[in-house]
Amino acid sequence: MTVKYTPDHEWVRLEGDLAIVGITTYAAEQLGDVVYVELPALGKSFAKGADMAVVESAKAASDVYAPVSGEVVAVNEAIVGNPQLVNDGPEGEGWFVKLKLKDPSECDGLMDAAAYRTHIGG
């Protein structure tokens, strides 16, 4: 199972032709307590880099960008009803969407964990 990261603090976990997407632990920590999540509709397609979802905390609202192009085949309704899940497990139970990959080669330009740690100054 491969996990890649974007400069905008999204992670993507590849499982076959599916990409599970969420925000990184670093992003969740920067946001503070998440109070609202807006997810896209099933069947909606996004180009890589497009605004895909919104996450709001007491401090700020942030867009979540599609790390790869694809079609939404699942959304995590649990985080809509309980946004705290994003803080509790941003890279686990706090995932946002599952995308059916349009072009798997887009993943090649994303960062691995070591590069992302360097990116955030870790």
pLDDT tens by residue, 18-31: 999 999 999 999 99
Q: What is the fold of 2-104?
A: OB fold (Dihydrolipoamide Acetyltransferase, E2P) (2.40.50)
Q: How many residues does the chain have?
A: 122
Residues of the chain with confidence (pLDDT) below 50: none
Q: What is the pLDDT of residue 122?
A: 79
Phi, psi of 34 (to 5 degrees): -75, 130
Q: How far apart are CA 52 and CA 66, in angstroms?
A: 6
Contacts of 46 (CB under 8 A, 6+ apart): 40, 52, 66, 69, 70, 71, 72, 99
Give pTM, 2 decimals: 0.95
Which pLDDT tens digit goes with each residue over 43-63? 999 999 999 999 999 889 999
Write down the domain spans for the chain: 2-104
Q: What is the pLDDT of residue 21?
A: 98
Q: What is the pLDDT of residue 81?
A: 96
- Residue 3, H or E segment: strand 2-5
Query: ∠ at Cα 36 (82, 91), nearest 5°?
Result: 65
